[in-house]
Amino acid sequence: MANYSSVEEAMRLRGLRLVLTRGVPGPWGEAAKAILHVKKIPYARVAQIAGENDDALIRWTGAANAPTAMYEDERPRVDRFAILHLAERLAPNPPLLPRSVDERALCMGLANEVAGELGFGWCRRLMLLEITPQTPPASRAMLEALLPRYASPDFPPARAAERCAEIMRAFAQRLRAQRARGSDYLLGDTLTVVDLYWATFAAMLKPLPEEKCPMNPGLRASYTASDPVLLAALDPILLEHRDLVYERHLELPVDC
């Protein structure tokens, strides 16, 4: 069981502190943990409780977001790439971004397709937040409160599945091309942040088995893809790559 500090305790600590949603293996939080694990950067976990308004966290970081990285007395890092760049600064080796400008731009672009606005994770979350006639009344109020944070009139949840599938097909094609040239990774010949993002966000299609990632049964059911558009695009190589990255580079079982 992972040890967590409260916000008040974390404010008295030095070094790196990472705000995470306690007990929830959310992909953005797992991606931040994966980056720090690969770079062997020590950090203290700070608990955010899902669904609660945390005034102390807002006063400290400016928002009730997870993940948020706080390093010494520097500004909060709430953006996925801000956390990545902080980690690259604190531990330049092993690098998770290529040295070449062109390759680095491609790496960041691919990472954004997974974890950025209207990327795979964003659109999959929209699918999970969609309100249908079958939505239980107890869940409807919460979804109605959350959905405006991520949906927009020009990109409703109904479009999200095809957007996810488009990204999945592109990543499967890239993995097959990389495999043909003898690489196990999405870009180049070594691990990059794109591999970490895909490995952690693939949970939103099929979570790791319970013995490798214990999680709430309801959340596991929600994360497990059943939409026919997603299932048609779920090339086995996508989950094979997820498994390779976890087994070769990350901690198992996942501890959240």
Residue ranges per structural domain of the chain: 7-90, 101-249
Question: What superfamily in CATH does domain 7-90 come from?
Answer: Glutaredoxin (3.40.30.10)
Predicted TM-score (pTM) of the model is: 0.92
What does DSSP assign to residue 207?
Answer: P
Give the pLDDT of the chain (256 residues) as one tens digit per residue. 689 999 999 999 999 999 999 999 999 999 999 999 999 999 999 998 876 678 899 999 998 889 999 999 999 999 989 999 999 999 999 999 999 999 999 999 999 999 999 999 999 998 988 655 455 555 555 555 666 666 676 777 778 999 999 999 999 999 999 999 999 999 999 999 999 999 999 999 999 999 999 999 988 998 999 999 999 999 999 999 999 999 999 999 999 8
